[in-house]
């Protein structure tokens, strides 16, 4: 269900951050993964923003006479069980999906970074308690945590976002913790402590900026995981509610019609795949760029 | 790692995987003497005194018996009891049990004592039976030879009809041992095992004697085993039917519509469903405490679209709180009292209440998920939007929905809530179950006029009762406490391959497998 | 070594104990009342009856007493009873555990058999077109929602070809869910294996071996095999843990009667005793796996010792 486990915390140092900015951009764009993944993501964002202009039809308009039309020139993706244009719904769905991803990653990232930094920086029993808890939660598949949370919060897209966001906190906390551990013993922090800088200042001014590259990578990859989890929740009827054109719920409501009208299943599914794929490729690309170990060539 | 080596490894692994699969999982039953029925959800319980959901009743019918039965023309005939009589004041019923009793699965017999045990347990407050109100307030039971005498607090003419239905299955007392339920009944099938959320296995009861007038087979079922299997997903259920893994499955509505014209399959509907679906309100939360707001919703919805589009024409649009086929379900009369599709009237009523294009009425549509209903809810949402009601949907699983609504229906403030539900019965008396305080999921209306009428109809019979039921429906419809929508609507469809013969559904979508055979 | 195992077990027991307490506390803090849920079907339930049921279930006791009771019962092997249907939770769980293990094991086999060689090969040929093609495939694999893949397979193999059963409960109906999960996780394993192997190949001793001019097959067998096995064991263990609890959605699509489906159902009905039992069983399995991994490390790499 999730790609999260695949990127088990690998402390990624600030490594190449010394590079001058323009040349970094050029290096980034020379990486085909960043280029391809980034372009698709950009495209998705544009589609989401411009949905009202791009969608050929009203995505909510029920047209009884036009039910379950196979893809044609007019209805490129066909129509659903209510005669609604699937292409228009997929286009509008992009906005919901990106929104879900951003909020969920935002919640996971902010809380995770806070916990991870605190644990890594404070050490001692604070670290022991926090990381024991995080490690325990981490053993649970995030979809299960999200499911449990949303069952208690009640079914809605907002609650699904919150649930997914909370379910990935352990992941971000562990990544942050790993990086902070590496950074903590570096001379710049020890020097800071010697000259008597406050903890707050050390963390915000020095520690956080140095762990940002690693966080960019994990959030990009985590975005895919969040989108998949949210789609699964909606598929189970616990996420987005009708008539919202969320892709997972489009699959759920169309599944009884798949024998004769498989396009109902096909296009929202493809939309999820393309989105998740784009963020995965982009994330891989950024990691290539930032993690020197992965770039080493084997001879 | 050479290629050859890794290649061999794969074969070993694949073989191992198959072996593991075969070893861990119990093999499927030999299909030739077993009927397998696929359904979307599992029963809640097999304690007849404690559940009322259709999905539970459909299994309990196979295991247990009824005191009396109802034929196709609503006449009451003998069941576990040979006959019954009613006292002149309608407050005492005497059931004459069959001489020697009826055999239970465990070798004991179902006699007057067993019947008394059922009446006593179901009406005892500790049992907290959801069906208690339908027994009419039992104040005492006695045994007199082969007779069981039941005394009620008030006259109740519909008791026999209720006792003939699946809500009133009677268990052999051995079923209940403390907290444990081990179903023992007199029905055609014996309980064997229940793997929750997976399958309930039943076996033919060889000593079964049939008293149900709608079942042809006088004795034990023709097949040996009956298995109810839970297959949640519609496509998976259809796949199981097509591959022959199961013999019966609830089809998706689209599949049902298609299979009807396919020689390879038989689709069964349920002519005596007694089911009625409706829209209702958390009627204490403004603005739905005002009849105009409730009627506005009634005018906004087009029930024909639900029936013909959402349900693929497999159900009928209806106007009465009482289900078609039951006493006093006069669609023409109800149509006059209730609301029909008229969006302009809806807008006018909303305008009176101060709602309009710039001040839309925002409501929550609280629903539970079921096929046909899901589709209807989306259409309903759209129809409400057209008159300026913005409905936010909240979907829950049925048990969770009932829990949620029990709270919401008691509230007097908050976001207004529109909800949908369905109810079925052998007799219109189910209106008491729904609308007399507290009512199912606290939906009951605390109105002395309604309460009085609901009580009065119980004492009446024949035309007088019918007229009282008209009055009650008129009250519910004019006040728009409920907006009837369609009938039937849940678990009423079955499909099988056409080599499966002899299946039928009797009252309240009760499936009967006694006569089923499977040809090669 | 023995000391280590004992200490590890001790920590495991403490972890499980703490998690039991945490879970039973957490579940009581969230909104939604199991007794109301039980009684909701019941129009006639009076407040006294509700109180009675609450008392019977011990839900009227102070939280700390409830927790203590629960932990005490667990120690006696009593996981409580399901709120719905009142079956023993232990039976519910252990009836399904074999199904879940069978599905997890078979999916894992499929995933390992496909994912491991591909990941290994991809790392070995890092940077070549083979690597690129394989990794594009793998990233595609991790991007496909498993329920969607499941539905597509169902549509194709069962509904269209009428070939594979979905619910017969025997080994044939294991095929589709195992393939669905296997496909997703083979992609994950391929990606993990590649990352791990790239690190192994970059180790100094491998470079040295190559520099010495040893034949490639010897370099791989003598120097790369063992460290890569360690990585592989870790990967397999992680994936196995995920397969045990994370197959909820796929189990649901194919009506596979595993723990995940039980958990989903319990969560939807707020059947607390079942949820608690599930978490405990799951956590136990995870703890056992992690101890086994640690032991496997020692066995595979003599340099690793635990004190």
Choosing from B134, B154, B179, the residue where a domain stops is B179
Contact with chain C for residue B139, Cβ under 8 A: no
Average pLDDT over residues B437-446: 87
Say what the pLDDT of residue B17 is. 58
**ipTM value of the model?**
0.85
Burial A226-254 (b: 16+ CB within 10 A, else e): bbbbbbbbbbbbbbbbbbbbbbbbbbbbb
**Residue linked to tokens 């090969």:** C121
Give the whole-angstrom CA distance, residue C305 versus residue B72: 80
Q: Which residues of C touch B403 (CB under 8 A)?
A: 32-33, 36-37, 40
Say what the pLDDT of residue A104 is. 96
Percent of chain C past pLDDT 90, that is, above it, reads 15
Give the whole-angstrom CA distance, residue A298 versus residue A97: 39
Average pLDDT over residues C100-126: 90
Touching A (3+ Cβ pairs <8 A), the chains are: B, C
What value does the mean pLDDT of chain B take?
90
DSSP string for B110-172: E-HHHHHHHHHHHHSGGG--TTGGGGT-EEEEEEETTEEEEEESS--TTHHHHHTSGGG-B--
Give the whole-angstrom CA distance, residue B91 versus residue B156: 7
Fold of C92-300: MetI-like fold (1.10.3720)
Higher pLDDT, A257 or B37: B37
Average pLDDT over residues B331-338: 96
* Model pLDDT for residues B296-319, shown as the tens digit of each residue: 999 999 999 999 999 999 999 999
Assigned domain for B230 exists? yes
Query: How buried is residue C68: exposed, middle or buried, by Cβ count under 10 Å (0-12/13-18/19+)?
Result: middle
* pLDDT(A152) > 80: no
Q: At B217, phi and psi to the nearest 5?
A: -65, 120
Domain range spanning residue B329? 276-487
Q: How many CB atoms lie within 10 A of CB A40?
A: 17
* Model pLDDT for residues B98-120, shown as the tens digit of each residue: 999 999 999 999 999 999 999 99
Say what the pLDDT of residue C178 is. 92
* Model pLDDT for residues B276-290, shown as the tens digit of each residue: 999 999 999 999 999
Contact with chain A for residue C205, Cβ under 8 A: no
pLDDT band with cut points at 50, 70 and 90 for residue B437 = confident
Contact residues for C246 (Cβ-Cβ < 8 A; gap 6+): A1, A2, A141, A143, A144, C260
Measuring CA to CA, which residue among A294, A254, A283, C34 is closest to residue B400?
C34
DSSP C255: T
Give the whole-angstrom CA distance, residue B40 versus residue B250: 8
* Model pLDDT for residues B449-479, shown as the tens digit of each residue: 999 999 999 999 999 999 999 999 999 999 9
| CATH number, domain A47-294, options 1.20.1440.230, 2.60.120.260, 3.40.50.10440, 1.10.3720.10 | 1.10.3720.10
- Tell me: do B414 and B357 sit in the same domain: yes
Contact residues for B232 (Cβ-Cβ < 8 A; gap 6+): B40, B41, C252, C255
What value does the mean pLDDT of chain C take?
80
Percent of chain A past pLDDT 90, that is, above it, reads 46
The Cα angle at residue C252 between residues A138 and A92, in degrees rounded to 5: 80
* pLDDT(C134) > 70: yes
pLDDT band with cut points at 50, 70 and 90 for residue B35 = very high
Q: Which of A63, A259, A260, A269 to mutate to test the interface with B (most CBs of B within 10 A)?
A: A259
Give the whole-angstrom CA distance, residue B102 versus residue B79: 10
| CATH assignment at residue B329 | 3.10.105.10
Say what the pLDDT of residue A46 is. 97
C-beta separation of B300 from B384 below 8 A: yes
Average pLDDT over residues B336-342: 97
**Residue linked to tokens 């999730």:** A2
* pLDDT(C237) > 50: yes
**Residue linked to tokens 């591959």:** B243
Measuring CA to CA, which residue among B495, B513, B512 is closest to residue B222?
B513
Choosing from B179, B209, B231, the residue where a domain stops is B179
Assigned domain for B62 exists? no
CA distances from B225 to A123, B7, B66, B200, B321 (A): 64, 45, 22, 11, 39
| CATH assignment at residue B116 | 3.90.76.10
Instruction: Determine if the peptide bond prior to B438 is cis (ω within 30°).
Output: yes
Give the whole-angstrom CA distance, residue C51 versus residue C47: 6
DSSP string for chain A: --SGGGG-------GGGGS-HHHHHHHHHHSHHHHHHHHHHHHHHHHHHTHHHH-SS-TT---GGGTTPPP-SSSTT-B-TTS-BHHHHHHHHHHHHHHHHHHHHHHHHHHHHHHHHHHHHH-HHHHHHHHHHHHHHHTS-HHHHHHHHHHHH-SSHHHHHHHHHHHTHHHHHHHHHHHHHHHHTSHHHHHHHHTT--HHHIIIIIIHHHHHHHHHHHHHHHHHHHHHHHHHHHHTTSSS-TT---HHHHHHHHGGGTTT-THHHHHHHHHHHHHHHHHHHHHHHHHHHH-HHHHPPP-
**Residue linked to tokens 């009512």:** B439
Higher pLDDT, C79 or B34: B34
* pLDDT-wise least confident of A65-74, C249-258, C283-292, C296-305: C296-305
- Tell me: do B331 and B201 sit in the same domain: no
Higher pLDDT, B158 or A132: B158
C-beta separation of B295 from B339 below 8 A: yes
pLDDT band with cut points at 50, 70 and 90 for residue C1 = low
Assigned domain for B50 exists? no
CA distance A296 to chain C (A): 8
What token pair was written down for B220? 């034990």
Say what the pLDDT of residue C34 is. 62
Flag if C167 and B229 touch (Cβ within 8 Å).
Answer: yes
CA distance B200 to chain C (A): 13
Give the whole-angstrom CA distance, residue B164 versus residue B78: 9
C229 alpha carbon, distance to own chain's centre: 21
Q: Which residues of C touch B239 (CB under 8 A)?
A: 154, 158-159, 162, 165-166
pLDDT band with cut points at 50, 70 and 90 for residue B30 = very low
The Cα angle at residue B187 between residues B182 and B193, in degrees rounded to 5: 35
CA distances from B257 to B252, B272, B310 (A): 9, 20, 12
* Model pLDDT for residues A41-58, shown as the tens digit of each residue: 999 999 999 999 999 999
Q: Which residues of A touch C155 (CB under 8 A)?
A: 258-259, 262, 265
**Residue linked to tokens 């404070």:** A122
- Tell me: do B290 and B367 sit in the same domain: yes
Say what the pLDDT of residue B321 is. 97
What stretch(es) of chain C map to CATH 1.10.3720.10?
92-300
Assigned domain for B514 exists? yes
Say what the pLDDT of residue A14 is. 43
Q: Across A248-252, C261-265, C299-303, which has the greatest mean pLDDT?
A: A248-252
Say what the pLDDT of residue B112 is. 96
Structurally, chain B folds into a number of domains equal to 3
* Model pLDDT for residues C145-156, shown as the tens digit of each residue: 999 999 999 888
Say what the pLDDT of residue A24 is. 67
Give the whole-angstrom CA distance, residue B515 versus residue A176: 67
* pLDDT(A226) > 70: yes
What token pair was written down for A144? 């299960």
Say what the pLDDT of residue B210 is. 95
CA distance B402 to chain A (A): 14
* pLDDT(C246) > 80: no
C-beta separation of B374 from B380 below 8 A: no
DSSP three-state, residue B355? coil
Residues in chain B whose Cβ is within 8 Å of chain A:
233-235, 238, 252-255, 258, 305, 309, 369, 371, 374-375, 377-379, 381-382, 392-397
Say what the pLDDT of residue C37 is. 58
Contact residues for C218 (Cβ-Cβ < 8 A; gap 6+): C209
CA distance B2 to chain C (A): 9
Measuring CA to CA, which residue among C168, C167, C144 is closest to residue C254?
C167
Average pLDDT over residues A280-291: 85
* pLDDT(B428) > 90: yes
Give the whole-angstrom CA distance, residue C109 versus residue C103: 10
Cross-strand partners of B152: B138
* Model pLDDT for residues B43-89, shown as the tens digit of each residue: 888 999 988 888 999 999 999 999 999 999 999 999 999 999 999 99
* Model pLDDT for residues B196-209, shown as the tens digit of each residue: 888 999 999 999 99
The Cα angle at residue B508 between residues B506 and B514, in degrees rounded to 5: 35
The residues spanned by each domain of chain A are 47-294
* Model pLDDT for residues C55-98, shown as the tens digit of each residue: 766 777 777 787 787 778 877 878 887 776 667 888 888 888 88
Say what the pLDDT of residue C302 is. 65
* pLDDT(C307) > 60: no
Q: Across A115-124, B341-350, C18-27, which has the greatest mean pLDDT?
A: B341-350
Q: Which of C28, C141, C142, C282 to mutate to test the interface with A (most CBs of A within 10 A)?
A: C142
* pLDDT-wise least confident of A257-271, B41-55, C94-108, C196-210: C196-210
- Tell me: do B28 and B88 sit in the same domain: no
Q: At B69, phi and psi to the nearest 5?
A: -125, 160
DSSP string for B285-343: STTTTSHHHHHHHHHH--HHHIIIIITTTSSEE---SSPTTSTT--HHHHHHHS--S-H
């Amino acid at each position: 269900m999730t790609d999260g486990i695949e990127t088990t915390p690998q402390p990624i140092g600030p490594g190449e951050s010394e590079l001058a900015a323009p040349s970094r951009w050029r290096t980034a764009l020379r990486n085909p993964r960043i280029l391809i993944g980034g372009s698709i993501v950009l495209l998705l964002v544009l589609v989401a923003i411009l949905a009202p202009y791009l969608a050929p039809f009203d995505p909510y308009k029920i047209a009884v006479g036009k039910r379950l039309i196979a893809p044609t020139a007019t209805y490129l993706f066909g129509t659903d069980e209510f005669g609604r244009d699937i292409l228009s719904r997929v286009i509008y769905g992009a906005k919901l999906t990106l929104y879900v991803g951003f909020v969920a990653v935002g919640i996971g990232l902010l809380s995770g970074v806070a916990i991870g930094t605190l644990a890594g920086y404070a050490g001692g029993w604070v670290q022991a308690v926090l990381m024991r808890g995080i490690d325990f939660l981490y053993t649970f598949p995030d979809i299960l945590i999200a499911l449990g949370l949303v069952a208690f919060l009640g079914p809605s897209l907002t609650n699904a976002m919150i649930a997914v966001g909370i379910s990935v906190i352990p992941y971000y906390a562990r990544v942050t913790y790993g990086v902070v551990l590496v950074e903590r013993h570096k001379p710049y922090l020890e020097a800071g402590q010697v000259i008597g800088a406050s903890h707050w200042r050390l963390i915000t001014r020095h520690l956080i900026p140095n762990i940002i590259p690693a966080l960019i990578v994990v959030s990009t990859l985590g975005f895919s995981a969040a989108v998949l989890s949210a789609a699964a929740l909606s598929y189970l009827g616990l996420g987005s509610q009708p008539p919202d054109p969320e892709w997972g719920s489009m699959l759920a409501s169309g599944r009884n019609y798949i024998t004769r009208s498989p396009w109902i299943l096909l296009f929202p599914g493809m939309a999820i795949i393309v989105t998740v794929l784009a963020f995965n490729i982009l994330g891989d690309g950024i990691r290539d760029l930032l993690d020197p170990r992965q770039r080493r060539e084997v001879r | 790692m050479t290629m050859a080596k890794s290649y061999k490894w794969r074969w070993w692994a694949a073989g191992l995987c198959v072996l593991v699969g075969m070893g861990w999982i119990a093999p499927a039953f030999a299909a030739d003497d077993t009927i397998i029925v696929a359904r979307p959800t599992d029963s809640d319980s097999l304690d007849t005194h404690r559940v009322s959901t259709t999905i539970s009743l459909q299994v309990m019918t196979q295991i247990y018996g009824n005191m009396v039965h109802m034929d196709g023309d609503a006449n009451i005939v003998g069941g576990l009891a040979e006959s019954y009589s009613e006292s002149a004041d309608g407050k005492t019923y005497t059931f004459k049990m069959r001489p020697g009793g009826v055999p239970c699965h465990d070798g004991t017999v179902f006699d007057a004592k067993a019947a008394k045990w059922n009446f006593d347990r179901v009406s005892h407050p500790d049992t907290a039976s959801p069906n208690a109100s339908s027994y009419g307030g039992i104040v005492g039971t006695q045994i007199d030879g082969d007779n069981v005498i039941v005394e009620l607090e008030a006259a109740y003419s519909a008791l026999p009809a209720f006792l003939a239905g699946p809500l009133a299955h009677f268990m052999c007392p051995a079923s209940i041992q403390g907290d444990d339920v081990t179903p023992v009944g007199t029905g055609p099938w014996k309980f064997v095992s229940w793997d929750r959320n997976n399958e309930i296995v039943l076996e033919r009861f060889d000593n079964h004697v049939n008293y149900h007038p709608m079942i042809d087979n006088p004795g034990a079922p023709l097949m040996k085993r009956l298995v109810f299997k839970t297959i949640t997903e519609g496509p998976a259920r259809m796949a199981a039917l097509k591959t022959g893994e199961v013999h019966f499955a609830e089809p998706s509505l689209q599949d049902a519509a298609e299979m009807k014209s396919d020689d390879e399959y038989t689709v069964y509907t349920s002519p005596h469903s007694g089911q009625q679906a409706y829209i209702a309100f958390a009627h204490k939360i403004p603005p739905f405490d005002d009849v105009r707001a409730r009627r506005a919703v009634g005018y906004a919805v087009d029930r024909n679209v639900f029936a013909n589009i959402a349900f693929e024409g497999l159900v009928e649009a209806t106007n009465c709180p009482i289900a078609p086929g039951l006493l006093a379900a006069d669609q023409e009369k109800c149509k006059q009292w209730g609301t029909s599709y008229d969006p302009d009237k809806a807008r006018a009523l909303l305008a009176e209440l101060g709602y309009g294009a710039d001040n839309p009425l925002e409501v929550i549509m609280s629903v539970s998920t079921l096929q046909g209903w899901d589709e209807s809810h989306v259409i309903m949402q759209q129809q409400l939007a057209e008159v300026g009601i913005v409905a936010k949907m909240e979907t829950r699983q049925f048990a969770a929905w009932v829990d949620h609504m029990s709270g919401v229906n008691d509230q007097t403030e908050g976001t207004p809530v529109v909800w949908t539900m369905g109810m079925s019965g052998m007799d219109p008396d189910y209106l008491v179950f729904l609308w007399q305080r507290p009512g199912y999921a606290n939906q009951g209306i605390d109105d002395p006029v309604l309460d009085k009428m609901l009580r009065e109809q119980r004492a009446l019979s024949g035309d007088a009762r019918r007229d009282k039921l008209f009055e009650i429906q008129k009250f519910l419809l004019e006040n728009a406490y409920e907006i009837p929508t369609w009938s039937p609507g849940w678990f009423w469809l079955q499909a099988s391959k056409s080599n499966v013969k002899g299946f039928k559904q009797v009252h309240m979508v009760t499936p009967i497998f006694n006569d089923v055979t499977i040809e090669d | 070594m023995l000391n280590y195992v004992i200490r590890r077990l001790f920590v495991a027991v403490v972890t499980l104990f703490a998690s039991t307490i945490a879970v039973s506390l957490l579940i009581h803090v969230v909104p939604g009342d199991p007794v109301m849920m039980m009684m909701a079907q019941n129009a006639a339930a009076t407040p006294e009856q509700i109180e009675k049921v609450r008392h019977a279930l011990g839900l009227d006791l102070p939280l700390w007493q409830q927790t203590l009771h629960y932990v005490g019962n667990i120690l006696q092997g009593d996981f409580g009873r399901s709120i719905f249907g009142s079956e023993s939770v232990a039976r519910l769980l252990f009836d399904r555990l074999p199904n879940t293990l069978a599905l997890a094991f078979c999916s894992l086999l499929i995933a390992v058999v496909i994912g491991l060689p591909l990941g290994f090969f991809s790392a070995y040929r890092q940077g070549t077109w083979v690597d690129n093609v394989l990794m594009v495939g793998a990233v595609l694999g991790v991007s496909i929602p498993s329920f969607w893949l499941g539905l597509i397979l169902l549509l194709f193999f069962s509904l269209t070809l009428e070939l594979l059963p979905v619910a017969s409960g025997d080994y044939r109906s294991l095929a589709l869910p195992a393939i669905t999960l296997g496909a997703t996780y083979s992609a994950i394993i391929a990606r993990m294996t590649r990352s791990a192997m790239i690190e192994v190949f970059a180790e100094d001793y491998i470079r040295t071996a190559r520099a010495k001019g040893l034949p490639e097959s010897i370099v791989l067998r003598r120097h790369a095999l063992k460290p890569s096995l360690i990585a592989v064991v870790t990967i397999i263990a992680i994936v196995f843990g995920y397969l045990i609890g994370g197959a909820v959605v796929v189990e649901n699509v194919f009506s596979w009667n595993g723990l995940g489906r039980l958990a989903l159902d319990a969560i939807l009905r707020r059947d607390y005793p079942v949820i608690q039992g599930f978490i405990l069983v799951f956590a136990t399995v995870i703890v056992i796996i992690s101890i086994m991994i640690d032991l496997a490390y020692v066995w595979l790499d003599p340099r690793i010792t635990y004190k």
